[in-house]
Each structure stands twice: as C-alpha cells, then as structure tokens.
Structure 1
C-alpha cells in the first residue's frame, strides 16, 4: 500500500509541476485554460504532502482512505467531463483520458489496500 501511495504522490507531483510551471504553454497545447491548470496544480501540492505523510506514517490512516478513493474517482470523472465538454485539442483529450485512467487505477488499488488493512488502522499490513 505504501508503494501505491508513493506512486500516486509522484505522479501528482509531476502533474503539479506541469500545471504550475507550464500552464501558459499547456493552455495552447491542450486547449485547457491556464487558470484551470493552476488551481488543480496548487491543490495537487497539498495532496502530494498528504499522500507522502500517509505513506511514511507508522499507522494506517484508515478513516482517510474512503476520501482519497472518492477524490480520485471524482478527479477522473471531472477529467472525462472536461473532455466531453469540448474545446480541448486532441492532445488535451488524450491528457484528460490518461489522467482519468491513472486516477481510476489508483482509486482501485487504494480501495483494495484499504480493505486489506486492519479495521483499527493501528499498523500497516502488507496489501
């Protein structure tokens, strides 16, 4: 489970760097307005910190996993919605759909890992 959290954090960090460092360039490449990239980029930095804290904690934060899973599913649905709304380039569609696929995979892995943890969340168990 720690590996899944770390992988999620690394991918989110990469997305945050892209969104915050290259928003203007991505605007033209993806057809997504820069403010629509910067806002999630800032959020992703906080999310990365949370995932890193969870991945390095001695205890399972089991009460937080449903929120993490739900957030990933919501993020994926938002990406699909943005793609369906139109106005994005072909590369933008690909970016949004790959993003959705990635967060759906993380949601599934995190859900599976959460279900395998002890109910009290007092210790990590191999998942």
Structure 2
C-alpha cells in the first residue's frame, strides 16, 4: 500500500533541494534525488522494497511536474519564432525532461530503499 504522505514529503524535499542544487548542474540534481528519495523511503519505512517504491514515486512525480512546467515554458518562449518554434522548443525541453525524470526516479529509488531499510 502506498503511503502518499511519505511520497508528498519526498516530493517537497526533492523540490527544495533541487532549487538549491541548481547552483551545481547535474550534481545538485542527483543529490536532490538522493535526499528526497531517502526522505520518502524513511518516512514510509517497511524495508528495501517499500522504501524503493516510495522513493521511486517521489522522484518520478517530481520529474514529471518539472518536465511539464519546463515544456510549457519552452513552448511559450519558442512561440516568438512562430508556431514551429513553439513546437520545437517544447518538444526539446520535453525530451530533456524525460531524461531528468529517469534520473530522479532511479536515484530516488536507490536512496529510498536505503531509507526504508534504515527505518525498518
């Protein structure tokens, strides 16, 4: 059973540490995924599997939310180049967002497994 409170906690931690991590491209985002995933796994408890599941959900949801926001922003900014520019701008950001979502999901799941195991 999914503990949505733990997922929401991990989501908030991921967003906050991700904002701080913008100062260190890629490394800051990986660190944010690890910290947020650990928080979600620890809050959920229940061992490796349960912690990994909650960390994975927190990381995936954060990645999807950021991807949608950045794709919308890229599409709007690209509209200055016409309709095709808006489409290409949004699609390019969407592809990068898929990578970021996978990055958040994988490292959050690993850290969540450790957090779930630690709490037991």
Query: Looking at both structures, which has the greater relative contact order when contacts are Cα pairs under 8 Å and sequence separation is at least 6?
Result: 2
Q: Above 0.5 in TM-score?
A: no
